[in-house]
Structure 1
């Protein structure tokens, strides 16, 4: 759940206006710039990212109007340095077509309350409200429900001998079930709730391009906030066993954060959880079924399902990068990043840095050692990581154990969603 999200926005296909600037640099060895949203880069960006990291782990890209930071140590420095800001609400708003701007004021007010778009100390104040609810010990309470939901979803969809789309059959509905239960969304409201989430994703991840799409996304965010505000009011009157009730019981809402801030952050939680976890499940299944030896290892030792999920987060996870801005001049790896510059923190490249990971291109469910950045790091480490891991490990472990006949039906024809930020399959055709 990235709020790393899993979960800072970018706008594929729509370049955010960079500040006017001059970038004097020492001459570099020739390097062929590639547009990261070209079809071949969407299909497989890793060879190019490896070459870029080897060429210059901190590289100014005129094509993307941004610094591309691809080295592990350099990404870590940016994630720690207060000169690098996560506030990206204004660039997102600048990408909205002029005709849709009148609908945008309230929606972007909601986004400004997302902790993923805030820097310390504001970020810390907002995050502390959810700290206990997202702790591993609190999330573990949902293990039995998650395992039961996994079995129920697979019983309905993964019928032995039947063909299907694992994305649509399992990877999307399972996190939706678990996250709705965790937030306290009644099943009768689930269809509208997940429709709003999908449209919010179009806005934040940059899938919306036409004015009508922006309008639908902005309205969906407003509708989602209205719905969650009503749910908070219901839980104040009648607490239940869910996230909202737990946080309200702790007494911080109305003290350290306002109720408006709390509801705004709930819209982030609602958006972030399902998208990241769905992609993590599908990418892990794809990774294992593309590597028979690793799949056999997990079948022999089901405990290695956790290792498979972690290795997917490192090697081909649901997040490729996050976008930041410098708030003051910063020296990074001998380069001067000026205040106002845009930075792409390319964790998909940093997680394959040979200076940090031995044999970095190898998928190894038994890998130990350096910490990957699949859920970010430091202050912006994905607060929902424990829940995302719980759901993904349950899904992958059950599929490997209970569906030994599962095969990919057309692995050579897979396609990926066009996004700077997300690594998301459009479908994963399988035979159960």
Structure 2
């Protein structure tokens, strides 16, 4: 058992200074005790790379957190919650094996690198079209709103088979669902809007599945239906529920990954110059952002039964925060971990998770983010940050996303 004698002052992870820059505190926390009980958060904070990996592999650590999400809903909004949380219970990310494996297998082939590569030409064309329309040289704008949000929305809508005329409603529902899942909904009215959005999204995708059964197309839904697993290994209700997860996860994560990578490069002139000299290093820039300042700070788990971790006893029912934002900066795993290096190689980061819960959409997110970053960096050499001071970040425990990224194109 490791002995830790230093004193650590607890910091609330949703305080404004922690939202702005959590990394010094997370580094100190990991150095103090990589498995730490936080009375302030009523949870174990797991910050060491090896310890997070152990949790991601251990069946005693459960991904089921629908109940805690429901417990956070204000009493006045509970009557709207039953169906919405039934939908969330069908999300892969909230299920453990063997349920998780059964649900995931339905999409496995559709999300393979080979299948996703079919969208490369469309993604590159969409990137050029969005930038030509939104990033006119000499213009001042918000890169998040102009590029980082609409580009993944365009690609993911095409991939799911969402008709362009349905796009505005579809992405409004997704934004409200994100408020619920990421914990940014605070007021009762916000919870009500988020719960209703999830139900509306489920209704819409259910109708779209029925339409694709009658009129198959070249999209994810049609492909999965052709494979014959819906109605066999999963019910249609489960399939539609999982589609709501795909719709939510794809846009939010990829938008933040694009914006965070552009910010990282434009605050490090040497790395920006390296990518401009070798455009293929855009891939390295995206990977280094996933490691150092990625769109996900942590994931929440629950101890399904008592377990020992790094000499500490975690009891059944305890909440566990797997703080990948700290694990990805662990000096025991990454040399010079605070340095952003587009040529870094070696240890695998946990920006997309690991093992059974490795992000199934990672290949598509990478495809879109790399196309956007390469084009922004190499074809828009006049782009500069309009406000290079401290950026503003969304107040979320789980995700790391900017509220805006003002730039001069």
Matched, 1:185 2:162: yes
Alpha-carbon distance in structure 1 between the residues aligned to 2:311 and 2:3: 10
Matched, 1:90 2:67: yes
1:6 alignment counterpart: none
Partner residue, 1:17 = none
Superposition pairs for residues 249-328 of structure 1, below 5 Å? 249-328=226-305
State whether structure 2 residue 393 is matched by structure 1 residue 416: yes
Larger relative contact order (Cα-Cα within 8 Å, sequence gap ≥ 6): 1
Ranges in structure 2 where 5+ consecutive residues have no aligned partner: none
TM-score normalised over the length of structure 1: 0.94
Q: Please give the secondary structure, in 2, of the residue aligned with 1:134.
A: coil
Indicate yes or no: 2:9 matched with 1:32.
yes
Q: Tell me the CA shift for residue 28 of structure 1.
A: 4.2
Residue matched to 1:145: 122
In 2, the alpha carbon distance for the partners of 1:29 and 1:405 equals 48
Corresponding residue to 2:101 among 124, 139, 161: 124
Quote the residue 1:4 is aligned against: none
Residue of structure 2 equivalent to 1:14: none
**What is the CA distance between 1:332 and its match in structure 2?**
0.3
Match of 1:239 in 2: 216
Query: C-alpha offsets along residues 71-101 of structure 1, whole Å, 9 cap, x if unaligned?
Result: 0000000000000000000010011111111
Aligned positions of 1:24-423 closer than 5 A: 28-423=5-400
Distance apart, 1:414 and its partner CA: 1.3
- CA distance in 2 between counterparts of 1:200 and 1:241 reads 26
- Paired residues, number: 408
Question: Are 2:48 and 2:327, in contact at CA under 8 Å, matched by a contact in 1?
Answer: yes
Q: What do you get for the CA RMSD once the two structures are aligned?
A: 0.9
In 1, the alpha carbon distance for the partners of 2:94 and 2:5 equals: 34
1:401 offset after TM fit, Å? 1.2
SS in 2 for 1:235: helix
CA distance in 2, matches of 1:263, 1:31: 46
Shift of 1:413: 3.8
1:39 and 1:99 map into 2 onto residues whose CA distance is 28
Q: Which runs of 5+ in 1 are unaligned?
A: 1-24
C-alpha separation in 2, matches of 1:110 and 1:374:
26
Give me the whole-angstrom Cα distance separating, in 2, the residues matched to 1:283 and 1:219.
30
Distance (Å, rounded) in 2 between the aligned partners of 1:400 and 1:26:
47
User: Residues of 2 paired with 1:146 and 1:316: CA distance?
Assistant: 24
Q: TM-score scaled by structure 2?
A: 0.99
1:295 Cα deviation after fit: 0.5
Q: Distance in 1 between matches of 2:306 and 2:169?
A: 45
